[in-house]
Amino acid sequence: MIYLDNAATTRTAPEVVEAMIPFFTEMYGNPSAIYSLGSAGKKAINEARRTIAGAIGAKPEEIYFTAGGTEADNWAVKAAAESRSGKGKHIITTKIEHHAVLHSCAYLEKSGYEVTYLDVDGDGLVDTRALKEAVRPDTILISVMFANNEIGTIEPIREIGAIAREHGILFHTDAVQAFGQVPIDVEEMNIDMLSASAHKLNGPKGTGMLYIRSDVKIRSFVHGGAQERNRRAGTENVPGIVGFAAAVRRAQRIMEEKARKERELRDYLIGRIEREIPYCRLNGHREKRLPGNVNISFCFIEGESLLIMLDMRGVCASSGSACTSGSLDPSHVLLAIGLKHEEAHGSLRMTLSEENTKEELDQVVGHLKEIVQRLRDMSPLYEDFMKSRRDRT
């Protein structure tokens, strides 16, 4: 099997699993308990908080553990909007956010908030001038993702943070794809809130966090206990949190080397596909891009067919086609960067890890050449295109 879907989730690293196990089997006590079996868990959580805070230049008390990135996004957007509603009800975000942010915004729109969805350019970059122009006196929140999950484009977060700070507007960034992959410093980048998820960086699923700057007061997300400084009630997922911290330590340790290796593999894969398969295009920015992200549209074919054929050859990848999204519309991200519907339907996302090899990618290119040709031979769009090309010459 060749696994190229690391933006969906990653393999839990052995050192992460190892760190977690004692908190299932031995130190299983409730962290809120007085006895020492519980305090072992409490101690581990505090240590995890320090580790994760350190990774983004935050203070430990600014890290709130959640059940994942989606929860963190929901909390940040909804609670920030509600807590600032006295000042105004206008939110600025982008057209390419994850649905965790977009659907939270849509929910707020139903209760009287106004949302501006910024366009992005053909590479998926937010225009900071357009952002400045969108700012109004009643703007209370800006939410822009650190890096896009589909096309890998890394946004100008530092500049966006500076604009938000200058106008006294809260700034949230969904860093689910970026955390652990590229350096992040919440102080330098003027980030007020940041969402992250453990399973995108070889940690366990079902664990995430929201960083909330200490001077930002937003409401609790879950009520019913004093956990997470009263802001997120419920017995802590101790093994998950411990695993998250272990994954962050690992990511910090290997980040540079991992990124270098992934970039090399990424550019090798993109280069071979662009040279050897006609009528395709790279989606997303060529340089301002997550190290492991490859997203390519193959004209005249549809993504789900491509994915099934790759799966039959042991390759795991994903697509922005409608069929894979469970709706009739293809990816909102690919449409936002200006792709035609049929180009969006024919997109393939391959997200690499440092464990992939050039030999694997050579195999994938071989499979792709064969599959793309096979699907094109089947495609009426390709037939029409080739006929019109013959007619022209």
- The catalytic residues are 323
Is 224 a residue that touches another protein (CB under 8 A)? no
Task: Give the count of beta carbons closer than 10 Å to the beta carbon of residue 355.
Answer: 14
Of residues 15, 47, 159, 342, which one binds another protein by CB under 8 A? 342
Nearer to another protein, 34 or 328 (CB): 328
| Nearer to another protein among residue 142 and residue 339 (C-beta) | 339
Residue closer to another protein, measured from CB, 185 or 377? 377
Q: Answer whether 48's CB lies under 8 Å from 241's CB.
A: yes
Which tokens is 317 given?
């990848």
Q: Check: CB of residue 295 under 8 Å from CB of residue 280.
A: no
Instruction: Give the side-chain half-sphere CA count within 13 A for 15.
Output: 10
Q: How far is the CB of 63 from another protein (least distance, A)?
A: 39
The H or E element containing residue 337 is none
Does the footprint of another protein cover residue 341 (CB under 8 A)?
Answer: yes
State the minimum distance, in angstroms, from the CB of residue 320 to another protein: 11
Residues 76/269, Cβ–Cβ less than 8 Å: no
Alpha-carbon distance of 177 to 376, in angstroms, equals: 32
C-alpha angle with apex 61: 55 to 63, nearest 5 degrees? 50
Lookup result for tokens 């982008």: 94
Q: Which of 159, 162, 381, 385 binds another protein (CB under 8 A)?
A: 381
Interface stretch with another protein, choices 104-112, 160-168, 230-238, 378-386 (CB under 8 A): 378-386
- Please report, as residue ranges, which positions from 315 to 334 form the binding site for another protein (by CB under 8 A): 321-323, 326, 328, 330
Give the binding range for another protein (CB under 8 A) out of 104-112, 240-248, 362-370, 376-384.
376-384
Q: Say if strands 347-351 and 293-298 run parallel, antiparallel, or are unpaired.
A: antiparallel
Token reading at 209: 């966090």
Candidate list 300, 310, 317, 350; residue touching another protein; CB under 8 A = 300
Q: Which lies closer to another protein via its Cβ, residue 192 or residue 343?
A: 343
340 binds another protein, rule: CB under 8 A: yes
Distance (Å, rounded) from C-alpha 382 to C-alpha 388?
A: 10
Binding stretches for another protein (CB under 8 A): 300-302, 304-305, 308, 312, 321-323, 326, 328, 330, 340-342, 345, 377-383
